[in-house]
Amino acid sequence: MEVTEAINSRRSVRAYTTDPVPQNKIEAVLETARLAPSALNGQPWHFIVVTDPERRRELSKGIFAKFLVVAPVVIVGCGDLKADPKWHAVDVAIAMQNMVIAATAEGLGTCWIGSFDGSSC
């Protein structure tokens, strides 16, 4: 799928199958985050791949995150405030957007959620 096609076809998906996501697709999506631009190439981010049902259940307690309990994979993006106190949030957002587009190109549905307590990352 071309980039423009992935951008045009991307939708916020809130209903998922319980089929596991192949590891190679998860790795391909994560690689696009690594390649994202960041201030001074500081890459002030950490990404946590959550497949454990109990951890997904905990994450689904966020006000806008109820459907995460059924998503087979959740990727949590955390900004590293120490690595870049000024631009960490913007840099994480850019990397997450890369992952959303890459996931679409891989045939995966995504939904960007911002209802988590950032102090837990």
pLDDT tens profile 35-54: 999 999 999 999 999 999 99
Q: Delimit the domains of the chain by residue range.
A: 3-111
φ, ψ for residue 100, nearest 5 deg: -60, -45
Q: pTM for the whole thing?
A: 0.92
The pLDDT value recorded for residue 62 is 85
Architecture label for domain 3-111: 3-Layer(aba) Sandwich (3.40)
pLDDT band at 109 (very low <50, low <70, confident <90, very high): very high
The pLDDT value recorded for residue 119 is 59
The pLDDT value recorded for residue 120 is 54
Please, what is the Cα angle at 115 between 111 and 118, to 5 degrees?
Answer: 115
**Choice between 117 and 94, residue whose per-residue pLDDT is larger:** 94
